[in-house]
Amino acid sequence: MNQPSAMTVAITRTAKPGFETEFEKALHDFVQRSFTLPGQLGVHIMRPAPGSNSREYGIIRKFENREALNEFRTSPEYLEWNQLAQNLTEGSGRTEELCGLESWFTLPGAALHPLPKWKMASVTFVGVYLITLILTILMGPAIRNWPLPIRNAAFNLVVVGCLTWLVMPVLTRALHGWLRGNERKPSI
């Protein structure tokens, strides 16, 4: 049976000039209230850099599955927030959705686009193979006598950490052209 896939949603909104502080407060209040809704896995807010002229905010939300995302979008809390946000921002904002491993394959500042699953699986295999090979050599002897469940948990914790913050960002940059090879270049 298919397991429901976690959903990541990236929302970009641009605060109206002079409404940045009001937008930030409203966003903070909404985020706090929204955690009571089912299926929430987390949220990250990206504010404009201090001293920049940008008024653009990035909001990354993660949900257990598509059903949780749909329930969130139809909740009274979200509908109320969306109306308020439209009054404080320019336009309705941009929204992009990803599920599964796609978020590993998005460079910082790049638009979120789904990639062919076979390409994601291939790059993930290379990353897992490399990191487990290196860790087996370096870490294996040091934890060889630990009980299997603890040894396995420690090993996998290091693998996931290395993949998330080291290996996948490097592979994504190095293989960006191949991963995105079928995308059309925007015309100017």
26 confidence band (pLDDT: 50, 70, 90): very high
* pLDDT above 70: percentage of residues in the chain: 84
- pLDDT at 40 exceeding the cut of 50: yes
> Can you read off the two tokens belonging to residue 154?
């420690």
- pLDDT at 160 exceeding the cut of 60: yes
Express each pLDDT in 87-97 by its tens digit.
Answer: 999 988 888 77
- pLDDT at 105 exceeding the cut of 50: yes
- pLDDT at 138 exceeding the cut of 60: yes
Q: For position 3, what pLDDT does the model report? A: 44
Q: What are the structural domains, with CATH classification, of the chain?
A: 7-100 (3.30.70.100), 117-179 (no CATH)
Contact 8, 97 (CB under 8 A): yes
Express each pLDDT in 48-64 by its tens digit.
Answer: 888 888 899 988 888 88
- pLDDT at 155 exceeding the cut of 90: yes
Q: What is the DSSP string of the chain?
A: -PPPPPEEEEEEEEEPTT-HHHHHHHHHHHHHHHTTSTTEEEEEEEPPPTT-S--EEEEEEEESSHHHHHHHHTSHHHHHHHHHHHHHEEEEEEEEEEEGGGGGG--TTSPP----HHHHHHHHHHHHHHHHHHHHHHTHHHHTTS-HHHHHHHHHHHHHHHIIIIIHHHHHHHTHHHHTTTSPPPP-
- Give dist(CA 61, CA 11) in Å, integer: 8
Q: For position 182, what pLDDT does the model report? A: 54
Q: For position 113, what pLDDT does the model report? A: 57
